[in-house]
Amino acid sequence: MSLSRRSARASRPLRPGRRVPRGGFIASEFVLGVCVIILPVTLLVLALPTWSERQAMAQRAANESAREVVLADSWSAGVGAARAAVDQVAGNYGVSLDDVRGPDFTAGGGLAGGQTVVSRVTVRMPMMVIPLVGRVGSWSWTAVHAERVDDYRSFPQGP
């Protein structure tokens, strides 16, 4: 039993004079699938680690800066130490200092016992990271940390 060449290609018998369609939409569907589905998902997946890393950096910077102020002998010395701590944390994570704002202590109290020092650190997140092109767009994310001043804290006596 032999199959004719024409019936092997088609799943149904052909009428005489009708040709088997040779074209298709595979090429256009492939391009559409790559451009609309695969490429955006890939770019999103490439941006997720950067977002996570910068969120961790901002949280660590807010934690360290609030702690520096709470342990300082004066508010001004604490704010200076907190700024240095934020710069060091950003450097450790490889984040440019242009992408970091803070620490901001406007919502906090003072250094009296029982008060709370609130530190806010804002970091700029790249919207997308395109290989060989760089960052495209950005948005900001703010980390907040509150540190309580010890109730029985004493300050060193001045000379």
Express each pLDDT in 99-157 by its tens digit.
999 899 987 778 888 889 999 999 999 887 777 777 778 899 999 999 999 888 777 65
Asked, for residue 106, whether it belongs to a domain, the answer is yes
pLDDT at residue 131 in the model: 72
Gyration radius of the chain over CA positions: 31
pTM of the predicted structure, to 2 decimals? 0.71
Residue 11: pLDDT band by 50, 70, 90 thresholds?
A: low
pLDDT at residue 37 in the model: 81
Say how many domains are in the chain: 1
pLDDT at residue 7 in the model: 46
Identify the residue whose tokens are 């700029």.
124
Render the chain in DSSP notation, one character per residue.
----HHHHH-SSPPPTTPPPP---SHHHHHHHHIIIIIHHHHHHHHHHHHHHHHHHHHHHHHHHHHHHHHHSSSHHHHHHHHHHHHHHHHHHHT--GGGEEEEE-TT---SSTT-EEEEEEEEEEEEEEETTTEEEEEEEEEEEEEEEPPTT--PPPP-
Asked, for residue 19, whether it belongs to a domain, the answer is no
More confident of the two residues 1 and 18: 18
Asked, for residue 8, whether it belongs to a domain, the answer is no
pLDDT at residue 27 in the model: 72
Asked, for residue 38, whether it belongs to a domain, the answer is yes
Asked, for residue 3, whether it belongs to a domain, the answer is no
Asked, for residue 24, whether it belongs to a domain, the answer is no
pLDDT at residue 122 in the model: 96
Give 54's strand partners. none
pLDDT in tens, 74-105: 899 999 999 999 999 999 999 999 999 989 99
Question: Considering only CA atoms, which of 148, 143, 122, 124 is closest in space to residue 135?
Answer: 124
Q: Is the dihedral of CA 10, 11, 15, 18 positive or negative?
A: negative
pLDDT at residue 35 in the model: 76
Asked, for residue 81, whether it belongs to a domain, the answer is yes
Asked, for residue 45, whether it belongs to a domain, the answer is yes
Which range of residues forms the domain containing residue 73? 29-148
Q: Is 114 left (phi over 0), alpha (psi -120 to 50) or beta?
A: left
pLDDT at residue 135 in the model: 76
